[in-house]
Amino acid sequence: MASDPARLAPVLSPETEALIERFLDALWLERNLSANTLSAYRQDLRALATFLQDRGATLQAAGRGELLAFLSEQLLRGAAARSTARGLSSMRRFYRYLLREGMIEADPSLLLEAPKLGRSLPKSLSEAEVECLLQAPDPSTPLGLRDLAMLELLYATGLRVSELVALPLQQLNLDAGVLLIFGKGRKERLVPLGEVAALAVQRYLDEARPVLLKGRLCQALFVTRSATAMTRQRFWQQIRHYARAAGIATEISPHTLRHAFATHLLNHGADLRTVQLLLGHQSLSTTQIYTHVARARLKELHRRHHPRG
């Protein structure tokens, strides 16, 4: 099948590619950002560079007008406000870097305004739906035991999926019932497991992990038949499979169980600061979105059960 030309990666000059990579290297050294975040910056800057290149301009020579034209074109093509805001954030960091390094005399992104973003509520699952999801894996098989342990751990701890699949065996302490997690920016936090999740993980370690490894070595806690760490993409394929098997109509996203963890804690009386610490949020304002989810649940309970609801 012939390749679709529209889907081919843009061809940029070696100088432009080198400039973007130099910026990303500096960003990684200064901020210790994840590979996914750096990839997003690269994608945003390559899109801008392609737009400018098609108009005979370069990243270093771009002015405010060119940047506005790029953002306008993105919106006209149907880009979401959140994607446009992220692209603007990438631009701002990039041009601050060029200014600091003496590569430009003025920052063309300085007076650009980000599009207004609405407060989107994270999709979650009800407690009954989570129970159905947790009953979907077959614990009589090694893969089923592994997937059950991963689901139980994800729901019990609120880990990011990237944190779960990258978790080394040595960062698990079943005796103390905690995990040592290095989150975004290598921020360290201790997360309690809970008894049910701890039992599921222990059974996986005793009965399933040795069968999957077959004497081979792997540092990751959760492994595949090929004795490698489970990937984020593969795990979410499994979750969607189990969601369908459990008859869950809600569309599952990479953060669904993390959202359920936070929402259910708040619904059962946990304070916002505790949830913030467990989720590894730097700012309490990031966690506050879950108060809206919990408030919606309380309103629904009031409507259904109060005589004047």
**pLDDT for position 307:** 65
Measuring CA to CA, how many Å separate 254 from each of 102, 134, 164, 238? 41, 16, 12, 11
Considering the domain boundaries, does residue 118 fall inside one? Answer: no
290 is catalytic: yes
171 and 257: one domain?
yes
Paired residues of 188 in beta bridges: 182
**pLDDT for position 191:** 84
Considering the domain boundaries, does residue 254 fall inside one? Answer: yes
Considering the domain boundaries, does residue 31 fall inside one? Answer: yes
Nearest Cα residue to 161 out of 248, 256, 247: 256
The mean pLDDT of 183-206, rounded to a whole number, is 86
287 vs 99, more confident: 99
Q: Choose the catalytic residue: 92, 123, 184, 232.
A: 184
- How many domains does the chain fold into? 2
258 is catalytic: yes
DSSP codes, the chain: -PPPGGGSPP---HHHHHHHHHHHHHHHHHH---HHHHHHHHHHHHHHHHHHHHTT--TTT--HHHHHHHHHHHHHTT--HHHHHHHHHHHHHHHHHHHHTTS-SS-TTTT--PPP---PPPP---HHHHHHHHTSS-TTSHHHHHHHHHHHHHHHH---HHHHHT-BGGGEETTTTEEEEE-GGG-EEEEE--HHHHHHHHHIIIIIHHHHHTT----BSSB-TTSSBPPHHHHHHHHHHHHHHTT--SPP-TTHHHHHHHHHHHHTT--HHHHHHHHT-SSHHHHTHHHHHHHHHHHHHHHHHSTT-
Considering the domain boundaries, does residue 4 fall inside one? Answer: no
Measuring CA to CA, how many Å separate 293 from each of 150, 155, 206, 254, 297? 25, 17, 38, 18, 6
Considering the domain boundaries, does residue 1 fall inside one? Answer: no
202 and 265: one domain?
yes
**pLDDT single digits (tens) 148-157:** 999 999 888 8
Residue 120 has pLDDT above 60, yes or no: no
192 and 132: one domain?
yes
Q: Domain containing 94 — which CATH number?
A: 1.10.150.130
189 and 274: one domain?
yes
Rounded to 5 degrees, what angle do the CA atoms 204, 136, 208 make? 15
Residue 195 has pLDDT above 60, yes or no: yes
**pLDDT single digits (tens) 11-50:** 888 999 999 999 999 988 888 778 888 899 999 999 999 9
Q: Choose the catalytic residue: 146, 160, 209, 259.
A: 160
Give percent of the chain above pLDDT 70.
80
**pLDDT for position 1:** 36
**pLDDT for position 81:** 67
- The number of CA neighbours under 13 Å toward the Cβ of 115 is 18
pTM check: above 0.75: no
255 is catalytic: yes
**pLDDT for position 299:** 58
134 and 96: one domain?
no
Residue 223 backbone dihedrals phi, psi, to 5 degrees: -125, 165
281 is catalytic: yes
**pLDDT for position 115:** 56
Q: Choose the catalytic residue: 146, 209, 258, 264.
A: 258
204 is catalytic: no
| Cα Rg of the chain (Å, integer) | 23
200 and 297: one domain?
yes
- CA–CA dist 182, 185 (Å, integer): 8
Contact predicate 284/271, CB 8 Å: no
197 and 283: one domain?
yes
250 and 290: one domain?
yes
Considering the domain boundaries, does residue 111 fall inside one? Answer: no
38 and 143: one domain?
no
Mean of per-residue pLDDT scores for the chain: 82
**pLDDT for position 297:** 54
Range(s) of the domain holding residue 42: 10-100
Residue 209's pLDDT band (cuts 50, 70, 90): very high
Q: Domain containing 277 — which CATH number?
A: 1.10.443.10
The mean pLDDT of 186-209, rounded to a whole number, is 90
244 is catalytic: no
Residue 261's pLDDT band (cuts 50, 70, 90): confident
Considering the domain boundaries, does residue 188 fall inside one? Answer: yes
Residue 285 has pLDDT above 70, yes or no: no
Nearest Cα residue to 42 out of 108, 85, 90, 97: 90
**pLDDT for position 305:** 60
User: 298: which residues sit within 8 A by CB, 6+ positions away?
Assistant: 267
Q: Within 10 A of 138 (CB to CB), how many other CB atoms are there? A: 12
Which of 63, 85, 100 is the last residue in one of the domains? 100
206 and 79: one domain?
no
Tokens found for residue 42: 């690269």
Q: Choose the catalytic residue: 189, 255, 292, 297.
A: 255
Considering the domain boundaries, does residue 110 fall inside one? Answer: no
41 and 145: one domain?
no
169 and 289: one domain?
yes
**pLDDT for position 156:** 86
**pLDDT for position 3:** 39
